[in-house]
């Protein structure tokens, strides 16, 4: 066989190997119609729980990490040594609190995933100093907190370390019930 034919044969074999040796993973992640991230915020007194859902398609065959971060504030009643209460004047910042949800690659079927995150629990301290709560003097104590969630962040990575979505919602007056995130 001549050197030219041998070179041509080698070039054809090499090209075939490059084209067919490993199937291409054309990942183009996006949210399905009606599947954009929505978080549910449930608050009771000094505690809130936040979970998020989304329906994603176009994912690759790699593990996925979804991280939800929640922040807010608590408002306390001021209580003196005699047990009398008055409204506190300050918003006491709470959080941020973060909860990761790890999804192994074998849970992603044909590039599709219905994401349900782990709950993020934000809790206000039972009591705070009178100064922190905005009470009339240092002899008072902040008690009976009422928690308000003001911001939610959802970061989705595939593979972990590579951000494919960064979504959030915030409202200084509070987020409750179903909250649609903007990505």
Q: What is the DSSP string of 78-136?
A: EE-TTS-EEEEEEEEEEEEEEEEEEE-GGG-BTTBEEEEPPPEEEE--S-EEHHHHT-S
Checking if the pLDDT of 47 tops 50, the result is yes
Mean residue pLDDT across the chain:
88
What distance in Å separates the CA atoms of residue 20 and residue 14, rounded to the nearest whole number? Answer: 10
Distance CA 105, CA 114 (A): 13
The H or E element spanning position 141 is: strand 141-157
Distances (CA, A) of 26 to 44, 57, 78, 158, 164: 45, 12, 59, 13, 14
Backbone φ and ψ for 9, nearest 5 degrees, come out as: -60, -45
pTM, 2 dp = 0.82
159's tokens: 């593979």
Show me where the domains of the chain are located.
Answer: 26-180
pLDDT at 161 over 50: yes
In this structure, of 20-29, 127-136, 146-155, the range with the lowest mean pLDDT score is: 20-29
pLDDT score, position 11: 37
pLDDT digits (tens, 9 = 90+) for 54-104: 999 999 999 999 999 999 999 999 999 999 999 999 999 999 999 999 999
Average pLDDT of the segment spanning 147-167:
98
CATH of 26-180 given 3.30.230, 2.60.40, 3.40.50, 3.40.1580: 2.60.40
């Amino acid at each position: 066989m001549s050197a030219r034919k041998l070179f041509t044969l080698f070039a054809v074999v090499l090209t075939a190997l490059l084209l067919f040796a490993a199937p291409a993973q054309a990942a183009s992640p996006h949210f399905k119609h009606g599947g954009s991230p929505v978080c549910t915020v449930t608050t009771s007194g000094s505690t809130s729980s936040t979970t998020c859902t989304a329906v994603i398609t176009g994912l690759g065959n790699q593990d996925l990490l979804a991280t939800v971060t929640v922040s807010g504030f608590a408002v306390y009643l001021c209580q003196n040594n005699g047990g009398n209460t008055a409204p506190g004047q300050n918003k006491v910042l709470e959080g941020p609190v973060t909860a990761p949800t790890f999804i192994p690659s074998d849970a992603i079927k044909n590039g599709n995933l219905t994401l349900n995150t782990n709950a993020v629990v934000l809790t206000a301290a039972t009591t705070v100093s009178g100064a922190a709560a905005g009470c009339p003097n240092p002899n008072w104590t902040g008690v009976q907190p009422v928690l308000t969630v003001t911001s939610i962040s959802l970061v989705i990575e595939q593979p972990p370390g590579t951000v494919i979505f960064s979504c959030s919602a915030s409202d200084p007056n509070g987020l409750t019930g179903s909250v649609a995130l903007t990505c």
